[in-house]
Homo-oligomer: A and B are copies of this chain.
Amino acid sequence: MATEEQQFLEDYEPKEYPSVALTVDLVVFAVTDSVLHAVFIRRGGRPFRGALALPGGFVKPDEDALHAAWRELEEETGLDLGRHRAHVEQLATYSSPERDPRMRVVSVAHLALLATDSRTLPGLSPGSDASAAHWKPVHEVLADEELAFDHRDILTEALERLAGKIEYTLTAARLVPEEFALYQLRHVYDAVWNSRLDAGNFTRKMTGALTDTGRKVARSKGAPATVFTVKDEYLSPPLVRPAAGAHR
């Protein structure tokens, strides 16, 4: 039967079917000093000249969307992924026929999370494909900037997805080194939720899902913090995002 099936496939002639160009778009997040940043590219050409856009590119014939997302992440940001902790997952697919005025382009949006030491953003190589990839604070961009195509929708959805997902998973730890102190993780939550969580309660609720390495790390001021490692993938019970305006 296998040979019969092979014969069928060799004889198969694709019929008429509508075809589209397939791209990936990337929302690349990283956190410094409790502020959530994302990678943007200032558009040089039309349409949307001068507006900010998300990095992205075409999916090649022999790769799937996730693979294309990793490749574009490396090409457009110039990041050495052998050295950087990174996480990429699919967000959603944008397929409105009018989303690119030039032609029919369907884009699979992805969420990428880069680990930082909480102080410096991963360096974006200037010699890369992208004319001018750079980090910008997400909340400021959403408030002030014009974004090309439907990239504002994509960015908003990415932020909401991340904000929701860290409630019941340890995805926030993807934005922090493999070994980290609780204040680093808490700053990620504060950056994403735009909140100011109570340190004591955060410790109580988070430690159950973490492994204590036994080591401590000193900050410039104050008591040294314990170094942890992720133990569980899920948070149970979940952490709930405080309502809009944090208290103090």
A residues lining the B interface (CB < 8 Å): 5, 8-9, 12, 14, 17-22, 46-47, 58-66, 90, 92-93, 95-97, 101-104, 106, 108, 237-238, 240
Residue of B nearest to A93 (CB): B93
Residue of B nearest to A17 (CB): B21
Residue of B nearest to A14 (CB): B103
Contact of A62 among B22, B60, B97 (CB under 8 A): B97
Question: How many Å lie between the Cα of A90 and that of B9 in the bound state?
Answer: 31
Instruction: List B contacts of A106 (CB < 8 A).
Output: 22, 65, 106
Instruction: Looking at the assembled complex, report how far the CB atom of A148 sits from the nearest CB atom of chain B, in whole angstroms.
Output: 13
Taking a contact as CB atoms under 8 Å apart, the answer to whether B8 and A64 are in contact is no
Instruction: Looking at the assembled complex, report how far the CB atom of A47 sits from the nearest CB atom of chain B, in whole angstroms.
Output: 6
Question: How many Å lie between the Cα of A93 and that of B9 in the bound state?
Answer: 24
13 contacting pairs across A/B (C-beta < 8 A)? A5-B47, A17-B21, A18-B61, A19-B19, A19-B21, A20-B21, A20-B59, A61-B97, A61-B104, A64-B96, A65-B95, A65-B106, A90-B92
Instruction: List B contacts of A59 (CB < 8 A).
Output: 18, 20, 95
Taking a contact as CB atoms under 8 Å apart, the answer to whether A19 and B17 are in contact is no
Instruction: Looking at the assembled complex, report how far the CB atom of A14 sits from the nearest CB atom of chain B, in whole angstroms.
Output: 5
